Amino acid sequence: MVKVDNEKCDQCGTCVSVCPTSALMFIQEPVIDQKTCIGCGKCIKVCPFSALSSLK
């Protein structure tokens, strides 16, 4: 499970392009489908603004 800090997010869209399960969608801001997310952490690593973090 991953969450977005909307105050840090620059809406660059990078996270959406690396998600292997298309759990991340961009609807004005990144939205994560927690059912589809496999917790791989790729989006967290690529975010240039550290806006994504793991939610436990």
Q: Minimum Å distance from CB 45 to ligand SF4?
A: 9
Bridge partners (DSSP) listed for residue 7: none
Instruction: Convert the chain into a string of H (helix), E (strand) and C (coil).
Output: CEEECCCCCCCCCHHHHHCCCCCEEEECEEEECCCCCCCCCHHHHHCCCCCEEECC
Lay out the site mask for ligand SF4 across 24-53 (x = CB under 6 A, - = otherwise): x-----x-x----xxxxxxx---x-x-xx-
Near ligand SF4 by CB under 6 A: residue from 3, 21, 27, 28: 21
What is the contact surface with ligand SF4 in residues (CB under 6 A)?
2, 4, 9-15, 18-19, 21, 23-24, 30, 32, 37-43, 47, 49, 51-52
